[in-house]
Structure 1
Amino acid sequence: MTNRSVVRPGLTLAVVAVVQFMVSLDLSVVNVGLPRIAAGLGFSAVGLTWVVHAYALTFGGLLLLGGKAADRYGRKRVLLLGLGLFGLASLAGGFAQEPGQLVAARAAQGIGAAALAPAALALLAATFPAGRARVRAFGVWSATNAAGGALGVLVGGVLTEYADWRWVMFVNVPMAAFALAVAWRGIAPGPPTAGGGRPDVLGAVLVTAGMTLLVFGVVRTDQHAWTSPVTLTTLAVAVALLAAFLHVERTTSRDPLVRLGLFANRSVVGANASTLLVGAAMGSTFYFASLYLQQVLGTGPARTGVMFLPLALAVVAGSVLAVKLGYRLAPRTLLVTGTLLTATGLAWFGLISPDGSFTTDVLGPSVTIGIGFGLCLGPVVSLATAGVAPHETGTASGLLNSSRQIGASLGLAAVGSAAHHRTGPSTTPESLNDGYALGLTLSAALLVAAALVALTVLRRTGPPSQDEPADGRDLPSVRLTKAGER
């Protein structure tokens, strides 16, 4: 490798977009196929939940470690490793013949995603460090991120109903292969950017175990109540491990997994706190909307997926609008505006009725939610990496992904418990509707809280500098003195 490498911003953006679409798709594509998976492999009712939990545990628990690995060993190297593992795990899951094999494949998918997601986001932040090109890049990222999550329901429903449940796993393979090939050829092999001190093995063990137990305790509340000894013990141990991690990072580590000084950056703190609440709200929203369409309105899996299309398209429209407005408005302004608009859509969605319809109860709120969500996605990612040193962008990216994943798990568990309590033992459309309506209303409240956090924590700043042209045709290759790093 020579001392000078060429960064191709367009190829980097393409790889990151495919990676984020794939990861977001995988978070939702499996859910619609769960009944067919249970029938095909003989899962018990309790065992079936581990098809979802195995992915959430490894993904959420290893994200910080993945972000640090990207900084320490090189973002391209960690990205390629994560893509390879994710693709192979998806292939193995599609060929699974018994429950344990599929659960193991889902866990391996989570490990791969924990490596590739922060590495990809760190590459994006380093390739587009400032100005209008950064606004465009994060607008594309936000569109693919949200579209993957929304379209996952459509893809999962269509594949499950008209092909076979195994295709909800196989669908990841060509995307991973494409991203791997483009990244291999098109991304500069930048060197490691983190310090060369002794690896923080103890910190990695503590934070991974703590975050894994935290997610485990939360996702198990569907079987053990929040006040049960099992849940309280699990969460207490998780908190103790995370407290020990903070002590290690502050006092003993030469090359800490997460430098605590990073939290002195108000942009990082505000973006992560807001993302935690937004993740909690949106994770619950997709869950309740899908159940309302299927359990209350009696819609089939494929039609349910089609009904999510307006939301997916609205997210893309909101992301495009965020790019246009991002040239004139500060990221903080866009984040607050988008979050409040999304909250408005969710409050509207909370007015669903058992004798409603897609046109009267779902379409309008879906479009409102989608536009608002699209407006705030790109700005929050840009804020989470703003002012962060180049050697810590992987860590900052891992933190943001962790906040989103932990938020989704916590939110669904907490809001889901409240909705289940409102529904009670009855399974009539009326009682189910009451529970789902409460869940959507509580999700709106979480988004209002996210907007308040953004207003109080994030600093008021101006719009991006205007020294870059507005169109996307002027992204020439950038020559760097250190192989792919700015």
Structure 2
Amino acid sequence: MALFVIASCQLMVVLDVTIVNIALPHIQTALDFSTTSLSWVVNAYTLTFGGLLLLGGRIGDILGRRKVFMTGVALFAVASLLGGLSQSSGELLAARALQGVGGAIASPTALALITTTFAEGPARNRAFGVFAAVSAGGGAIGLLAGGILVEWLDWRWVFFVNVPIAVLILLAAPRWIAESERHPGHFDIAGALTSTLGMVALVYGFIRAAQEGWRDPLTLGSFAVAVVLLLTFVQVERRSRQPITPLRMFADRNRAGTYGIMLCLAAAIFGMFFFLTLFVQDVLGFSPLQAGLAFLPVSAVIAVGAGVTSQLLPRYGPKPFMVTGALLAAAGLAWLTLTDIHSTYLGSILGPMLVFSLGMGMQFVSLTLMALSGVRREDSGAASGLLNAMQQVGGSLGLSILVTVFGTAGRHKAESLVPEFLSTATPAQRLVFQRTGELPPPWSEQVLASGISAAFVMAAIFTAVAALIALRVIQVRPGDLERLQGGGSTPG
């Protein structure tokens, strides 16, 4: 029951990253978002989530994990209610940011609670397997749930649905989860703020570049601010007595490599969900429910991959699964680069999506185990927070880079199609084009497909880098696992 409560919280937090993807076209119409600014509906959540995860893990260590866990869940519920009631784009983005704060408090304490609830060895490995499957599959489940809610009710229910789930978690947690011991310490507010604001500036710079180009003064200024803030963050962490990001975590090559792999893979999976959701609805013409059902196989294959990997890890060790999983993900994304306006779901989308999902399922269990193996008990919150932060920050940063690639490729494609459009357009179509600068269907569909294909090229590069890190950096053998889980240092 303790694992059920913990996993339910993680599912709620993780699926909220993607549950809004299905609703994005409806949100755009209702609250007047531009196409490029629409990615902020995702990034406002993931940036605050990822940026404050490290602080959230430390708060759980200091104040008690069950209490902090429940506080994060309650805040998440309030923010979800406000998101569903939003009447403007600003109100929705503020609610999404507040959701991220709640998730940042609840999620790292949820993972750390596994280390204090389950004994080292097979029991904890099985718990990690369940947690990893929920974390990996929650994205696809969110897309399915989003499709059902948007089609049968309204886009606002993608936020309202979190409220009853959170209430049930709050009622069950005191009964089934024991409070952890407290570790005295201080909160690194300066580190949390500089890291979060630095990532916001960096992501804003990429999205601004997609809209206005790389020479835009605000684009260049955003990148400059990001560099200053992130360098300040490193200095703050080096001087702090109790940093939210203990830099000693990166001294271990296996753990540092694990964080790097997670950063790259999260960028790829966020991009896949975001762009395929747009493709199946705007090019293939799927309804929200059909789009959600189209992603259901992703959840199943990720769960199967995670389950099989958790059973075979003791025999083969994590490295083979980390390398193979990243290569499978890269192969799936490379396959998706072939998508165009003539693609079909069964013929062009489902196959590469399943290959990608199998690779991701193999990865998440291995990454979770490697990130937390050999960590001192008092650092478990910080270690879990850093792993989750890499996932969320990597997803936000990666999505912003992919949106930039998408926007640049789309502009080039649109420019090449303008002469053809003008030669056949009616006077009314020319007038709309002069006012909006946007091509109508079917030209707009070609622009969208071209941009998405280019984005998948970059996503495939991200996963190829992850495979290279796993191959060259990770140095662990199957026989090392028992020693690692017992608290020894990793080799190399």
Short-chain TM bin: 0.7 to 0.9
How far 1:50 moved relative to its partner?
4.3
Deviations 1:428-451 (A, max 9, x none): 444433332232233122111101
Deviation for aligned residue 1:421: 2.5
Task: In structure 1, give the amino acid aligned to 2:165.
Answer: M
Q: Classify 1:348/1:409 alpha carbon distance in 2 versus 1 (closer, same or farther; 3 Å).
A: same
Query: Are the counterparts in 2 of residues 156 and 168 from structure 1 also a CA contact under 8 Å?
Result: yes
CA distance in 1, matches of 2:99, 2:349: 32
Query: Per-residue displacement from partner, 1:74-94 (whole Å, max 9, x unpaired)?
Result: 221211110000011112222
Equivalent of residue 275 in structure 1, options 262, 268, 276: 262
Aligned to 1:88: 78
Query: Are 1:333 and 2:303 an aligned pair?
Result: no
| 1:376 CA drift (Å) | 0.7
**Is contact 2:56–2:385 with CA below 8 Å preserved after alignment?**
yes
| Equivalent position of 2:364 in the other structure | 377
How far off its partner does 1:39 sit? 3.8
Structure 2 unmatched ranges of 5 or more: 418-442, 484-492
Code of the aligned partner of 1:366: M
Distance in 1 between the 2:55 and 2:355 partners? 36
Change in CA separation of 1:81 and 1:239 when aligned onto 2, cut-off 3 Å: same
Contact 2:210/2:405 (<8 A) preserved = no
How many residue pairs are counted as aligned between the two chains? 454
Q: 2:290 aligns with which of 303, 310, 313?
A: 303
Contact map agreement 2:20 2:158 (CA 8 A) in 1: yes
The equivalent of 1:446 in structure 2 is 462
Give the distance between the partners of 1:422 and 1:114, measured in 2 at CA.
Answer: 34
Which whole-Å deviations, capped at 9, do the CAs of 1:277-296 have from their partners, x for residues lacking one? 00111111112212221222
Supply the distance in 1 between the matched residues of 2:475 and 2:96 (Cα, whole angstroms).
40
Structure 2 residue matching 1:30: 3-state secondary structure: coil
Q: Report the Cα offset of residue 274 of structure 1.
A: 0.5
Structure 2 distance, partners of 1:45, 1:269, is 36
The aligned amino acid for 1:203 is G
1:228 maps to what in 2?
216
Corresponding residue number in structure 2 for 1:155: 145
Q: Compared with structure 1, are the counterparts of its residues 54 and 188 closer, same or farther at alpha carbon in structure 2 (3 Å cutoff)?
A: same
The aligned residue for residue 195 of structure 2 is 207
Provide the residue aligned with 2:304 in structure 1.
Answer: 317
SS at structure 2 position matched to 1:249: helix
The change in CA–CA distance for 1:144 and 1:225 in structure 2 (over 3 A counts) is same
Query: Whole-Å Cα distance in 2 between the matches of residues 305 and 344 of structure 1?
Result: 23
SS at match of 1:189: coil
Query: Equivalents in 1 of 2:111, 2:301: separation in Å?
Result: 23
CA shift, 1:48, in A, is: 5.2
**How far apart in 1 are the matches of 2:5 and 2:133?**
14
The RMSD of aligned alpha carbons is 2.4
Decide whether aligned partners of structure 1 residues 264 and 129 sit closer, same or farther in structure 2, where only a CA change above 3 A counts: farther
Q: Aligned partners of 1:227, 1:455: CA distance in 2, in Å?
A: 37
Task: State the alpha-carbon separation in 2 of the partners of residues 284 and 182 from structure 1.
Answer: 35
The equivalent of 2:472 in structure 1 is: 456
CA distance in 1, matches of 2:250, 2:393: 18
Distance 2:103 2:147 in 1: 23
Which residue, out of 166, 178, 186, partners 2:176? Answer: 186
Can you list the C-alpha shifts for 1:169-196, whole angstroms capped at 9, x where unaligned?
Answer: 1111122122222222211111223x43
What one-letter code is carried by the residue in structure 2 that aligns with 1:37?
Answer: I
The one of 15, 20, 40 equivalent to 1:25 is 15
Go from structure 1 to structure 2 and tell me whether the alpha carbon gap of 1:377 and 1:371 turns closer, same or farther (over 3 Å shift): same
* Structure 1 equivalent of residue 440 of structure 2: none
User: Residues 74 and 286 from structure 1, CA distance in 2 versus in 1: closer, same or farther, beyond 3 angstroms?
Assistant: same
Q: Which moved more, 1:289-298 or 1:144-153?
A: 289-298
Within the alignment, does 1:117 sit opposite 2:133 as a pair? no
Q: Is 1:245 the equivalent of 2:261?
A: no
The residue type equivalent to 1:361 in the other structure is: S
Between stretches 412-421 and 264-273, larger displacement belongs to 412-421
Residues 26-35 or 436-445, more deviating: 436-445
8 Å contact 1:91–1:173 — kept in the other structure?
yes
Alignment map for 1:381-400 (pairs within 5 Å): 381-400=368-387
The alpha carbon displacement at 1:465 in A equals: 6.2
Q: Is the 8 A contact 1:335 1:376 kept in 2?
A: yes
Identity fraction in percent: 42
Aligned-pair CA distance for 1:49: 5.1
Describe the superposition over 1:325-362 as per-residue Cα deviations: whole angstroms up to 9, x where unpaired. 22322122212221111222222222224222211111
CA distance in 2, matches of 1:370, 1:47: 28
Change (3 A) 1:261 1:306: same
- 2:242 aligned residue: 255
Deviation, 1:151, is 1.8
Unaligned runs of 5+ in 1: 1-10, 468-486
Using a 3 Å threshold, how does the CA distance of structure 1 residues 49 and 260 change in structure 2: closer, same or farther? closer
In the alignment, structure 1 residue 169 sits paired with structure 2 residue 159: yes
Look up the SS of the partner of 2:374 in the other structure.
coil
C-alpha change, 1:330 and 1:128, in structure 2 (3 Å) is farther
Map of 1:54 onto structure 2: 44
Q: Distance in 1 between matches of 2:452 and 2:37?
A: 24
**Compared CA separation, residues 67 and 235, structure 1 to 2 (3 A):** farther
2:251 maps to a residue whose letter is: A
Q: Distance in 2 between matches of 1:169 and 1:371?
A: 29
User: 2:318·2:476 contact (CA, 8 Å) conserved in 1?
Assistant: no
Residues 206, 465 of structure 1: alpha-carbon distance in 2 compared, 3 angstrom cutoff: closer
Matches of residues 281-300 of structure 1 in structure 2 within 5 Å?
A: 281-300=268-287
Q: Alpha-carbon deviation of 1:264?
A: 0.9
Q: Does 1:108 align with 2:106?
A: no
Question: Do 2:36 and 2:210's aligned partners in 1 also have CA atoms closer than 8 Å?
Answer: no
Q: Which amino acid counterpart does residue 371 of structure 2 have in structure 1?
A: A
Distance 2:455 2:196 in 1: 30
CA–CA distance in structure 2, aligned partners of residues 45 and 436 of structure 1: 14
2:424 maps to none
Q: Which residue of 2 aligns with 1:367?
A: 354
Contact 2:337–2:454 under 8 Å retained in 1:
yes
After TM superposition, the score normalised by the length of structure 2 is 0.86
Change (3 A) 1:231 1:309: same
